[in-house]
Amino acid sequence: MSKVSQLRQKAQTFLKKGKIDKAIEEYKKLLSVESRNPNLYNELGDIYLRASDRVQAVSAFEKASANYEKVALYNNAVAVCKKILRIIPNRLETIFKLGELKGKQKLLGEAENYFSQYFDAIIADPKSAGEEIQERIEGVLELIPDCEGIWSKASDVFSHLEIKSRAAEILAELIARNSLSGDPQRINFYRSRLDLLKQALKRDEIEKIDAIISVAAADTPKVETPGTPDTSGPEADLDGAGIKLTDYASEVASDQNAAMGEPAAVEAEHVIEEEPAAVETEHVIDEEATAGENEYAIDEENDSGAVDTSGSGDLSDLLEEEDAIIENESSIKNLAEEITSNVEEDDFRSHYDLGMAYIEMGLFGDAVKELQISARSEQLQLQSLEMVGLCFLSMDTPGLAVKQLERGLQISKQSGGESMGIHYNLGLAFEALDDPEKAREHFEEVYIVDVTFRDISEKMKKFSTVS
């Protein structure tokens, strides 16, 4: 048994005996060995809550969230942030972090909601803004550049902070963008606000604002509807199904946890006063969709085949950016492996968590290896098999997916477990295998139980002519 396992076992023994202070000391020793393991910080936070030490609990949860974020486990980071908000409602630091996490996941509607809440609080009390507020606002605008509602509210924040020139620049950008869509009502709304701000600006600042309106209208892309997700990026599509695996994997994980009644303590309806139902803290897993990776495309001239580098930088710069992305993905994978380097073979929950992390990073082969280990656990077997099936679908091997999912279906029948998701996934697999009869058969099993399940109504319409 490794040193980490020994320390954890000792801590769990103290917890069972109600010796919380000694358990905390053991977890501190654990973290001296694995200082970047987010699961340990999350568990320590729960223990601090049992000791009614909310300050230390929040500190531990913040470290857990930060380390989950480093390995691209954004859903886990989100769940831990929600724990913090149940301890300290309306905590601005956490609300802002939730906006950042949702933005990284390309869940722009949710990101907008959190950032709007953050901006509203700053507007209501400008003194609550820290020294980094301007940098934060600029970061938000860079993270979700096409969200008009956030840009408008950012202008309000700058105005309340007496940074009038930047507030006016943002309004000028919005006027220029809306000029493309020909929306006079919006343009007039922003112009009226801009006219008020101009009264406090210097001549050179006004000239700069006017230049933005005249120049930006010619080359600024049209603003998308606020909250519309960005669907660009090379996320894996289930062949023939039009579904993102990383998105769907998150939904499946949440559905399975809910069905199994796992005490993950991450759902919003759970009150913080509740003590963890089990001594061994269940690690939070995916709640919502995750986003795809950045995509860099190089345009080519139709007539000559030459690379067009105008407006997109030198070719060497683009290649350097791509190398940086690859290096970053490699470092994330290495960090994920480092976190679980001392995981015992029978620590099935940690193997499952690592498998889910690999899915979020698009490393489906690595995910399969970890999920096959976690499938040895009776508690995790069903959901592990389902995720393995989805990985095989993403790897364009629907035949292997069918084998895994049918095995899962058999287990669910024997145990009385939830089978609706498995039937749906089998429908996707047979759809990819161009077997409409079997696809419809499994989709029907879902439809007769829940007509609102994901896009099942659309699937039934698609296969309505299949006899």
Asked whether residue 210 carries a pLDDT value surpassing 60, the answer given is yes
- Distance, in Å, from the CA atom of 458 to the CA atom of 445, rounded to the nearest integer, reads 14
Phi then psi for residue 260, to 5 deg, are -80, -15
- What token pair was written down for 224? 């998308």
**Nearest CA among 365, 424, 395 for reference residue 239:** 395
Is the whole-model pTM more than 0.75?
Answer: no
Q: Tens of pLDDT along 365-393?
A: 989 999 999 999 888 899 899 999 989 99
Q: Mean pLDDT in the chain? A: 77
Q: Residue 299 — pLDDT band, cuts 50, 70, 90?
A: very low
Q: Within a 10 A sphere around the Cβ of 66, how many other Cβ atoms?
A: 15
Rounded to an integer, the average pLDDT of 259-263 is 39
Q: Is the pLDDT of residue 413 over 70?
A: yes
Number of Cβ within 10 Å of residue 168's Cβ equals: 26
DSSP state for residue 238 in the 8-state scheme: P
Does the structure show a pLDDT above 50 at 248? yes
Residue 277 has pLDDT above 50, yes or no: no
Per-residue model confidence (pLDDT) at position 421: 85
> Residue 257 pLDDT > 60, yes or no?
no
Q: Which CATH architecture has domain 245-299+306-462?
A: Alpha Horseshoe (1.25)
Lowest mean pLDDT among 18-27, 56-65, 78-87, 217-226: 217-226
State the maximum Cα–Cα separation within the chain, in Å, rounded to a whole number. Answer: 78
Does residue 206 carry a pLDDT above 60? Answer: yes
Q: Which of the residue ranges 137-146, 179-188, 421-430, 447-456 would you say has the lowest mean pLDDT?
A: 179-188
Q: For the segment 306-316, what is each residue's pLDDT rounded down to a tens digit?
A: 333 334 344 45
CA–CA separation, 180 vs 48, rounded Å?
54
> Above 60 in pLDDT, residue 295?
no
C-alpha span between 427 and 447 (Å, rounded): 12
Return all residues near 217 (Cβ < 8 A) that are at least 6 apart: 175, 176, 177, 179, 180
- Nearest in space to 168 (alpha carbons), one of 178, 157, 179, 159: 159
Record the tokens describing residue 179, joined without a space. 């000029």
Contacts of 111 (CB under 8 A, 6+ apart): 99, 100, 102, 103, 105, 143, 144, 147
Q: pLDDT tier at 276 (50, 70, 90 boundaries)?
A: very low
Q: Let me know: does 212 contact 172? Beta carbons within 8 Å.
A: yes
Residue identified by tokens 């709640």 is 287
